[in-house]
Amino acid sequence: MKRLIKPALFIFSCLVYTACSNTKYLKPGQTLYAGAEVKINPDSATKIANEKNIKSDLESKTRPAPNKKIIGLRPKLYIYNLAGQPKKSKGIRHWLKTKVGEPPVLLSDVKLKYNNAVLTSYLISQGYLQSVVVGDTVVKNRVGKAIYTARTGSRYKINNITFPKDSGNLTHVINLNKEKSLLKKGNFYNLEVFKNERVRIDNDLKENGYFYFSPDYLILQVDSTIGKNLVNITVKVKDIAPDAGLKPYTIKNINIYPNYSLRRDSVLRKLTPIEYSDFNIYDDKKTFKPRLFDRLVFFKKGETYNRKDHNQSLNRMVNINAFQAVKAEFLPIDSFKNNELNLNIYLTPLKKNSLSFSVTGTSKSNNFVGSEVKITQTTRNLFRGAEQLDVSLSGGFESQVSGQSQGLNSYSFTAQGKLTFPRFIVPFIKPQSTNAFIPKTIASLSYELISRGSYYDLSSFKAEYGYQWKENQYKEHTFNPISVTYVRPKITGDSTTLFATTPGLRNILEKQFIIGSSYNFTYTNQMEEARRNNIYFNGNLQTGGNVWGLFVPKDSHGDKSILNVPLTQFVRVETDLRDFYKIGKNLIWANRLDLGYGYAYGNSTSMPYVKQFFAGGTNDIRGFAARSLGPGSYKVPDSVQFADQSGDIKAMINTELRFKIVSVLYGAVFADAGNIWLRKEDTTRVGSGFKLKNALSQIAISTGAGLRVDAKIFVIRLDVAFPIRKPYLPEGQRWVIDKIAFGDKTWRNNNLVYNIGIGYPF
């Protein structure tokens, strides 16, 4: 115990010295500012609702902010002082002082009158109409604080809301949706709600043609003289509102300039337009087919202006990825004398052809890490309907950094062609999409060659035709009615020796012909960064040999086959649910639940290897080597070089606490649990079959910690994990927490798993 006391006292003394030493660098008469404290009704028994949050809000609004503190200390200020006065504008001392350090915030920088006014204004905006805030300072040992005393009085509530009398078209629109008003009788007075109510009314008017109306033309008069801490609110249109804002407008002409540039502006305006539908198209080069604009522009001649059509038109023209500049201009006719607008749409196309080159880092679930070089040729507007053709070639090199196959090198070559149509192309019918997002029809063809050193080569051909569309900003669908995959292996060494030493390869090195369909649904609200809790959900359904199997003939053995390869028949379902909860500004609790089930039928006795599930690895259960876990309680022998264990069923849950350390460096602590199983027991792998009563006892669990460099445009991750529950051990011995020994080299070699990744694990 005595051995611990001395180091603890030394550390404590250092912390105290660091805290105190900052003031010795101050000039005579200077006082270090330590922050603000707000006291609410200190001399009164009156307690206001939600006092803790209001106190926190008030303190956050005071200026300036004090020097940043960590566990009660000001390390950035200490570094600033320690750097002294650098003689040069470069070097380590200059970098420490200007980039890492932080200059002292002084008590003299505090403007009490200004802060008094800010805090009083905030309290009034929250309904404390009689509030008064008075600030003062307290100094001790050259460290000062600002103390603000707030006397709030009672909070006012809304007694009655009066809207304008229905005396014309504008007031009629205002009254039409007054039941949707944000102002409710009995609610507290709140200035932010008042502002939002003006915006709500403005939106209603914009939807009914009032193009030039503005929320500033509305006034909400508040009468607080009725007593009992109540207010009456009267909604009025200002008398000074201009005439242009008080009348609805209709669309007269719709002029489209599809190949616009400032250089050709005068020439384009003199052209004789192509009249198509309700559009006048000024394009002497016939850059786009006129019917394209039926799907991009939602306005029609003679209709009343509305904001919904305005926004959807702009969103579609931007999201179609055919234009580098989009501008919609609404011009009044005869200087506002008529209630009509001309709509001019100026579109500047992207270059027809472009070539891109990229070098990327790759990190896969099977612990292969490497890089890839890719070149892509893009041809836009291929058939004058904003179509896009992408042809790419890529080559890569990978090496397995951990697991039984550590050190195995892999080479790959990929060629792909993808043609995207910005519309639905469905035989015999013409589906319409009227939201802001462009639906896509995608046809693709690809070839991939993977060479695993001197062991084998794997060639795969894939053709796919399908649709991708967004229901709204949260929901996205991908449906591929037909997907054809042909896998052809080639063993470059002795197959007998290879399969004897690595039996897991037998499943990989089989010819496979898969023809089927797939559907994928994604929901996410992660783009709403202001939300405290964000979720992500992905559901995927894949089938092989279903409807398309009806068109495949049977071979001499009675099996359906193509090119002498049996047709694979299966159904595969997988769901991935993620939750991200913001505990604090730089502290996030992330969780994931991943469930999968595959079922082979008809022509097939097992799921194709490329469609099966795996466990272990950098994005999975990180305390186990990639694809080495399971199925069930089975353990692959240590002598097997390829540990690719796969299953028909998967269940996995991950939890991770992510926190910021400094700048772009983040940390995490995590735990992963789960396993894979075969739907039916494999007699050569005892314990591999799924049985509900045994499933929980066969769950593997690992835990660990990691560092992440998150520069927004890329994330590099290093995780260190180790197992705390091993499902392949005898029952009663599977928990191995008591065997953890970080100081034991043998334990570290057998249990610590290092995972290098690009991007977050989920």
What 8-state DSSP symbol labels residue 364? -
Which residues have CB under 8 Å from 384's CB, separation 6+?
A: 286, 287, 288, 289, 292
C-beta atoms surrounding 103 within 10 Å:
12
Structural domain boundaries in the chain: 2-151, 157-246, 250-349, 613-762
Q: Which of 156-165, 287-296, 595-604 has the lowest mean pLDDT?
A: 595-604
pLDDT for res 401: 56
pLDDT category, 456, cuts 50, 70, 90?
Answer: confident
pLDDT at 457 over 60: yes
pLDDT category, 19, cuts 50, 70, 90?
Answer: very low
pLDDT for res 84: 85
Q: What is the CATH number of domain 613-762?
A: 2.40.160.50
Give the mean model confidence (pLDDT) for residues 374-384: 96
Mean of all residue pLDDT scores within the chain: 88
pLDDT category, 628, cuts 50, 70, 90?
Answer: confident
Give the mean model confidence (pLDDT) for residues 56-83: 89
User: What does DSSP say about strands 475-491 and 440-452: parallel, antiparallel, or unpaired?
Assistant: unpaired
Q: Distance between CA atoms of 746 and 729, rounded to whole angstroms?
A: 18
Q: pLDDT tens digits for 249-260?
A: 999 999 999 999
The upper half-sphere exposure of residue 96, i.e. CA atoms within 13 Å in the direction of its Cβ, equals: 14
Task: Give which of 249, 216, 233 is closest to 164, Cα–Cα.
Answer: 233
* Contact (Cβ atoms closer than 8 angstroms) between residue 167 and residue 156: no
pLDDT category, 11, cuts 50, 70, 90?
Answer: very low
Q: pLDDT tens digits for 82-104?
A: 888 887 778 888 888 888 889 99
pLDDT at 68 over 90: no
pLDDT: which is higher, 79 or 233: 233
C-beta atoms surrounding 29 within 10 Å:
8
CA dihedral 390, 464, 479, 591 (to 10 degrees): -80
Task: Give which of 118, 138, 157, 175 is closest to 35, Cα–Cα.
Answer: 138
Full DSSP string of 561-583:
EETTEEBP-EEEEEEEEEEEEEE
- The whole model's pTM is what? 0.79
- As beta bridge partners, residue 420 has 388, 442
CA 448-424-536 angle, 5° bins = 70
pLDDT at 647 over 50: yes
Q: pLDDT tens digits for 312-328?
A: 999 999 999 999 999 99
pLDDT at 641 over 80: no
pLDDT at 7 over 50: no
pLDDT for res 3: 46
Q: Distance between CA atoms of 359 and 221, rounded to whole angstroms?
A: 61
* Contact (Cβ atoms closer than 8 angstroms) between residue 578 and residue 595: no
pLDDT: which is higher, 166 or 602: 166
Extract the tokens encoding 109. Answer: 């920088």
Q: pLDDT tens digits for 523-572?
A: 999 999 889 999 999 999 999 887 766 666 666 666 667 767 778 889 99
CATH 3.10.20.310 given to domain 250-349 = yes
Give the mean model confidence (pLDDT) for residues 125-135: 95
User: What does DSSP say about strands 250-257 and 340-349: parallel, antiparallel, or unpaired?
Assistant: parallel
> In one letter, which amino acid is 675?
N
Q: How far, CA to CA in Å, does 557 sit from each of 226, 487, 488, 539?
A: 93, 21, 21, 37
Rounded to 5 degrees, what are φ and ψ at 492? Answer: -95, -15
Q: What is the CATH number of domain 157-246?
A: 3.10.20
Rounded to 5 degrees, what are φ and ψ at 245? Answer: -85, -5
First to last CA, the chain: 44
